[in-house]
């Protein structure tokens, strides 16, 4: 018994010395395993208790447990010291210096306006649809009842793509960068039966020279509503609701007859509010719309005798310019932080 008890204190001191001087966390874990692990030296002492007499066991067990508690306290303390040292800077630091604030990024103004438009349409049950920016003539023009001689199909207005071959460039099956997001309307109608209630925001491309009001790349949002008994009244009510959500409750809307190949009848939408008045105008053209042409329905397999619908489209940049009083569309694309951080 005396020999057994005499071994406890030297083992404890040796264990404390190794735990307290462990140079890193890996060495500390190794020392823990050697002394307190399943095969550790103190675990071995506990196993030897079974060889002691019934009278000797309480005293020996108490001494071992007391030593084990001291070792565990030393283990926790050394681990905290090593973990703190690991995260401290390697070089001396003056913690009394003021902190450096990080500048938080912001959403681009076009993204902000797009999200507001989407939010307004979702309030009245519209879903968001998306589609490819590289399109074919069928989805971009043919299915939308655009005549073969329409100016929009001319190479001077549309970006057509070519593929590189061993003998040089050749047309890529008349692939093009979409000139509007109406192509997504066709894709959606061909993929599902009516009713359809969608909006389609996205980037579009046209051969425009960059100036204050034009850019070869810009953003557009289009809407499509197809169901039984849809009328121009539904179109007008939707447009009024959305523009009041975006531009304020003083917005007034008027429709003017127009021509689009994919709608009949077709209209231009003008709106008026305090911002328009500041510009010295009574009305400002903002969008195009109309009832979906029966031929478009036939092209996608919808029966125009059963289904009616309307479609519209307008530029997101135009809304943002009016909303924020911006007079040059190119500012959206110059990545000037002085401009962008205002929104």
Mean pLDDT score, 231-258:
91
Burial group, residue 293, by CB count within 10 angstroms (0-12, 13-18, 19+): buried
The residue among 117 and 31 whose pLDDT is bigger is 117
Residue 166's pLDDT is what?
A: 55
Average pLDDT taken over every residue of the chain: 86
Sign of CA dihedral 287, 293, 298, 301: positive
Shortest CA distance to 194 belongs to which of 297, 291, 124, 313?
A: 297
Which helix (H) or strand (E) element contains residue 338?
Answer: helix 337-340
Mean pLDDT score, 101-114:
88
pLDDT tens profile 158-178: 888 876 555 555 555 678 999
The whole-angstrom separation of Cα 140 and Cα 309 is 19
Fold of 109-340: BirA Bifunctional Protein; domain 2 (3.30.930)
The residues facing 255 across adjacent strands are: 269
Instruction: Say if residues 17 and 47 touch (Cβ distance below 8 Å).
Output: no
pLDDT band, residue 5 (cuts 50/70/90)? low
pLDDT tens profile 323-333: 888 989 999 99
CA within 13 Å, CB half, 287 = 26
Instruction: Say if residues 322 and 277 touch (Cβ distance below 8 Å).
Output: no
pLDDT band, residue 292 (cuts 50/70/90)? very high
**326 vs 109, 172, 269, CA distance in Å?**
11, 39, 21
The whole-angstrom separation of Cα 68 and Cα 62 is 10
């Amino acid at each position: 018994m005396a020999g057994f008890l005499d071994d406890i204190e030297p083992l404890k001191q040796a264990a404390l010395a190794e735990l307290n001087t462990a140079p890193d966390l890996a060495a500390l874990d190794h020392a823990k395993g050697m002394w307190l692990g399943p095969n550790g030296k103190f675990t071995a002492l506990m196993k030897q208790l079974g060889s002691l007499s019934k009278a000797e066991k309480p005293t020996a067990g108490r001494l071992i447990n007391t030593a084990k508690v001291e070792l565990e306290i030393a283990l926790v303390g050394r681990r905290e010291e090593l973990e703190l040292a690991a995260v401290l800077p390697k070089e001396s630091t003056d913690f009394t210096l003021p902190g450096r604030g990080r500048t938080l990024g912001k959403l681009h103004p076009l993204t902000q306006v797009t999200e507001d438009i989407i939010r307004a349409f979702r309030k009245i049950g519209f879903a968001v649809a998306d589609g490819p920016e590289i399109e074919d003539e069928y989805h971009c023009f043919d299915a939308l009842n655009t005549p073969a001689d329409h100016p929009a199909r001319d190479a001077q207005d549309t970006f057509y793509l070519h593929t590189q071959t061993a003998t040089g460039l050749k047309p890529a099956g008349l692939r093009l960068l979409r000139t509007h997001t109406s192509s997504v309307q066709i894709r959606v109608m061909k993929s599902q039966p009516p009713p359809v209630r969608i909006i389609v925001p996205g980037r579009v491309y046209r051969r425009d020279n960059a100036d204050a009001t034009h850019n070869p790349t810009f953003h557009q949002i289009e809407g499509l509503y197809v169901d039984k008994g849809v009328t121009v009244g539904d179109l007008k009510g939707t447009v009024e609701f959305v523009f009041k959500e975006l531009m304020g409750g003083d917005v007034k809307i008027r429709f003017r007859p127009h021509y689009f190949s994919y709608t009949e009848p077709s209209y231009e939408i003008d709106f008026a509010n305090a911002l328009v008045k500041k510009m010295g105008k009574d009305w400002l053209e903002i969008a195009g719309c109309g009832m979906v042409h029966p031929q478009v329905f036939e092209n996608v397999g919808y029966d125009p005798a059963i289904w009616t619908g309307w479609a519209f489209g307008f530029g997101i940049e135009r809304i943002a310019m009016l909303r924020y009083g911006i007079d040059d569309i190119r500012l959206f694309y110059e990545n000037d932080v002085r401009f962008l951080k205002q929104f």
